[in-house]
Amino acid sequence: MHDSEAIGLFLARLLMSCVFLFSAIEKLRKEEEEIQAIVGLHLPYPNFVAILAGLCEIVGASMLVFGVGARLASVLLALFLVSVTIIFLQFWKAPTRQVRFGQANAFFGNLGLVGGLTYVALIGPGPLAIFPRL
Protein backbone atom coordinates (compact mmCIF):
# COMPACT_ATOMS: atom_id res chain seq x y z
CA MET A 1 0.00 0.00 0.00
CA HIS A 2 1.38 3.41 -0.97
CA ASP A 3 1.82 6.12 1.66
CA SER A 4 -0.99 8.22 0.17
CA GLU A 5 -3.36 5.23 0.31
CA ALA A 6 -2.41 4.52 3.92
CA ILE A 7 -3.03 8.15 4.87
CA GLY A 8 -6.34 8.17 2.97
CA LEU A 9 -7.50 5.02 4.73
CA PHE A 10 -6.52 6.47 8.10
CA LEU A 11 -8.45 9.67 7.34
CA ALA A 12 -11.48 7.61 6.27
CA ARG A 13 -11.36 5.69 9.56
CA LEU A 14 -11.02 8.95 11.47
CA LEU A 15 -13.96 10.59 9.69
CA MET A 16 -16.21 7.56 10.13
CA SER A 17 -15.33 7.50 13.83
CA CYS A 18 -16.46 11.13 14.19
CA VAL A 19 -20.04 10.14 13.39
CA PHE A 20 -20.11 7.60 16.21
CA LEU A 21 -18.34 9.88 18.68
CA PHE A 22 -20.83 12.70 18.05
CA SER A 23 -23.71 10.27 18.49
CA ALA A 24 -22.17 8.92 21.70
CA ILE A 25 -21.81 12.40 23.17
CA GLU A 26 -25.50 13.07 22.54
CA LYS A 27 -26.43 9.83 24.30
CA LEU A 28 -24.09 10.36 27.24
CA ARG A 29 -25.39 13.90 27.71
CA LYS A 30 -28.83 12.28 27.91
CA GLU A 31 -30.29 14.64 25.35
CA GLU A 32 -34.07 14.57 25.61
CA GLU A 33 -34.54 13.64 21.96
CA GLU A 34 -32.23 10.63 22.31
CA ILE A 35 -34.00 9.41 25.45
CA GLN A 36 -37.45 9.88 23.91
CA ALA A 37 -36.41 7.86 20.86
CA ILE A 38 -35.46 4.99 23.19
CA VAL A 39 -38.67 5.41 25.21
CA GLY A 40 -40.58 5.17 21.92
CA LEU A 41 -39.19 1.68 21.45
CA HIS A 42 -40.60 0.66 24.85
CA LEU A 43 -37.19 -0.44 26.09
CA PRO A 44 -36.69 -0.66 29.84
CA TYR A 45 -34.33 1.78 31.54
CA PRO A 46 -33.91 4.24 28.65
CA ASN A 47 -31.17 6.23 30.43
CA PHE A 48 -29.13 3.05 30.94
CA VAL A 49 -29.69 1.99 27.32
CA ALA A 50 -28.51 5.43 26.13
CA ILE A 51 -25.36 5.25 28.26
CA LEU A 52 -24.61 1.69 27.17
CA ALA A 53 -25.09 2.54 23.49
CA GLY A 54 -22.94 5.65 23.87
CA LEU A 55 -20.13 3.72 25.52
CA CYS A 56 -20.28 1.05 22.82
CA GLU A 57 -20.03 3.75 20.16
CA ILE A 58 -17.01 5.31 21.87
CA VAL A 59 -15.22 1.96 22.19
CA GLY A 60 -16.02 0.97 18.60
CA ALA A 61 -15.01 4.36 17.19
CA SER A 62 -11.76 4.32 19.17
CA MET A 63 -10.95 0.82 17.94
CA LEU A 64 -11.66 1.93 14.38
CA VAL A 65 -9.58 5.10 14.42
CA PHE A 66 -6.59 3.61 16.23
CA GLY A 67 -6.71 0.38 14.26
CA VAL A 68 -7.06 -1.90 17.27
CA GLY A 69 -9.28 -4.69 15.98
CA ALA A 70 -10.53 -2.34 13.27
CA ARG A 71 -12.05 -5.15 11.21
CA LEU A 72 -14.12 -6.40 14.14
CA ALA A 73 -15.04 -2.86 15.15
CA SER A 74 -16.15 -2.12 11.58
CA VAL A 75 -18.40 -5.18 11.48
CA LEU A 76 -19.94 -4.43 14.88
CA LEU A 77 -20.43 -0.74 14.13
CA ALA A 78 -22.00 -1.59 10.76
CA LEU A 79 -24.43 -4.04 12.39
CA PHE A 80 -25.25 -1.47 15.07
CA LEU A 81 -25.78 1.22 12.44
CA VAL A 82 -27.98 -0.96 10.22
CA SER A 83 -30.24 -1.85 13.15
CA VAL A 84 -30.45 1.73 14.41
CA THR A 85 -31.13 3.00 10.90
CA ILE A 86 -33.97 0.56 10.29
CA ILE A 87 -35.50 1.13 13.73
CA PHE A 88 -35.23 4.92 13.99
CA LEU A 89 -35.20 6.22 10.42
CA GLN A 90 -38.33 4.78 8.87
CA PHE A 91 -38.69 7.72 6.50
CA TRP A 92 -41.43 5.96 4.55
CA LYS A 93 -43.67 6.35 7.62
CA ALA A 94 -42.86 10.02 8.26
CA PRO A 95 -45.90 12.24 8.82
CA THR A 96 -44.74 15.18 6.68
CA ARG A 97 -42.63 15.72 3.60
CA GLN A 98 -40.08 17.74 5.58
CA VAL A 99 -39.62 15.00 8.19
CA ARG A 100 -39.53 12.36 5.47
CA PHE A 101 -36.80 14.29 3.62
CA GLY A 102 -34.64 14.63 6.76
CA GLN A 103 -35.04 11.01 7.74
CA ALA A 104 -34.38 9.78 4.20
CA ASN A 105 -31.16 11.81 4.04
CA ALA A 106 -30.01 10.35 7.37
CA PHE A 107 -31.08 6.84 6.29
CA PHE A 108 -29.10 6.89 3.05
CA GLY A 109 -26.17 8.68 4.68
CA ASN A 110 -26.01 5.84 7.19
CA LEU A 111 -26.04 3.32 4.35
CA GLY A 112 -23.04 5.11 2.87
CA LEU A 113 -21.29 4.89 6.22
CA VAL A 114 -22.07 1.16 6.34
CA GLY A 115 -20.36 0.93 2.94
CA GLY A 116 -17.22 2.56 4.32
CA LEU A 117 -17.25 0.29 7.37
CA THR A 118 -17.67 -2.74 5.11
CA TYR A 119 -14.64 -1.65 3.12
CA VAL A 120 -12.48 -1.43 6.26
CA ALA A 121 -13.82 -4.81 7.43
CA LEU A 122 -12.75 -6.36 4.12
CA ILE A 123 -9.32 -4.79 3.57
CA GLY A 124 -8.31 -3.98 7.13
CA PRO A 125 -7.20 -0.67 8.61
CA GLY A 126 -4.00 -0.35 6.59
CA PRO A 127 -0.49 0.13 7.93
CA LEU A 128 -1.31 3.22 10.01
CA ALA A 129 -2.85 1.19 12.81
CA ILE A 130 -1.74 -0.07 16.19
CA PHE A 131 -2.71 -3.66 15.37
CA PRO A 132 -3.32 -3.76 11.62
CA ARG A 133 -3.73 -7.56 11.47
CA LEU A 134 -6.70 -7.79 13.85
Question: pLDDT of 91-118, one tens digit each?
Answer: 999 999 999 999 999 999 999 999 999 9
Listed by start position, the domains of the chain span 3-123
SS3 annotation, the chain: CCHHHHHHHHHHHHHHHHHHHHHHHHHHCCCHHHHHHHHCCCCCCHHHHHHHHHHHHHHHHHHHHHCECHHHHHHHHHHHHHHHHHHHCCHHHCCCHHHHHHHHHHHHHHHHHHHHHHHHHHHCCCCCCCECCC
Q: What is the pLDDT of residues 44-73, one digit of tens each?
A: 899 999 999 999 999 999 999 999 999 999
Model confidence, pTM = 0.89
